[in-house]
Amino acid sequence: MFTENLFTRILDLEDGWVVESVDTDFSKEEISIQIVCLSEQLEDTQTGELCKIYDHAPARKWRHLDTMQYKTYIKCALPRIITSQGKVKTVQPSWASGYERHTFLFEHAVIDLLQASKNQTKTAQIMRCGFNVVNRIMHLSTKRGMERRNYTELVFDQLSV
């Protein structure tokens, strides 16, 4: 019980979300944190409507920051809500985006390490993940940064072709 409460606090989960169990595989040096949603209703982020939980999507797994020397994974069957129009939507968790297989904190650590090392291969070795994971995180981060730029006030004085 202490471990579950500790991880619930450390992960800073939203109200209604709790760590149900923490399993350790000593042979693989991995920790799996099982998160569940205890709420009966959740908000539709697009409309702000409070919707009833319809069912749960199949369980997914995200890579999180290491706990000591152990790789840490978050597992959760995300709830699906039903809107007043009858549309069923999967709730997006606060710890990850879209269909990525890593958490925001893991992504942030990879980006910080990439900025320091300027080397994707070394970053992948240090973070104990694949090169493709680091490369994908780098491209997603760049895409988000480019989307935040404001080009409306940009004036070109010269153009070279």
pLDDT digits (tens, 9 = 90+) for 56-67: 999 999 999 999
Residue 46's closest CA among 15, 79, 90? Answer: 90
Q: Which of 1-10, 57-66, 88-97 has the lowest mean pLDDT?
A: 1-10
Q: Is 139 helix (H, G, I), strand (E, B) or coil?
A: helix
88-90 and 50-56: which strand pairing? unpaired
Question: Mean pLDDT across the stretch 5-32?
Answer: 93
pLDDT in tens, 95-142: 998 789 999 999 999 999 999 999 999 999 999 999 999 999 999 999
CA atoms within 13 A on the CB side of 15: 4
Residue in this structure with the two tokens 């840490």, named with its chain if needed: 72
pTM of the model: 0.86
Measuring CA to CA, which residue among 65, 62, 67 is closest to residue 94?
62
